[in-house]
Structure 1
Amino acid sequence: MRYHPALMDELNLLLHFDLDTTQQGIKVHHDADPSMVQAAARLHEKGLITQADGGYLTELGRETAEHAQAMLGLLKEPAPA
């Protein structure tokens, strides 16, 4: 299985959540990029966020977002020396 664009959109959306607090969610407005609107709907269908247009992370969503942020940290390009 490969990372396809729709999955990348979901991962990118998860990166918008602040993992330092459970009291802050996100809102994906109806006029946002259609790929982000669709990604939010899919994450909601998967039970990772509380609302189809964002909301808060569920317990599973928080775990997934933690993994997404960790993966990004491991894979990003190192700073030039």
Structure 2
Amino acid sequence: MPYDAELVAELNLLNHFNVGTTQEGIKVHHSAAPHMIEAAKRLFDKDLITQEDGGYLTDLGHDAAEHSQSLILILTTPVQLDTTS
């Protein structure tokens, strides 16, 4: 299943959360890009965040954000080639 624009927006929004703490949330302001406002609503509908405009991660949202952030790290880390052999 390829990532469509809506899924990419949701992943990007999840990447804004600090997964190192449960005491920090985000706010998607009404002046944000429409695709980000809609992404927040979809994440709320999927029970990943506590408010339609952001809030905090739910337990499921925390897991999703950790996976999303791990994936972006894996995909953006340069490959280290072993040149010693």
User: TM-score range with shorter-chain normalisation?
Assistant: over 0.9
Give the alignment's Cα RMSD to 1 decimal. 1.1
Identity %: 57
The Cα shift of 1:77 comes to 4.8
Could you tell me which amino acid in structure 1 is paired with residue 38 of structure 2?
Q
Could you tell me which amino acid in structure 1 is paired with residue 33 of structure 2?
D
TM-score (norm 1): 0.94
Note the 1:1-81 alignment, pairs <5 A. 1-78=1-78
Return structure 1 stretches of 4+ with deviation > 2 angstroms: none
The Cα shift of 1:74 comes to 0.7
Could you tell me which amino acid in structure 2 is paired with residue 4 of structure 1?
D
Count of aligned residue pairs for this structure pair:
79
Q: Which has the larger radius of gyration?
A: 2
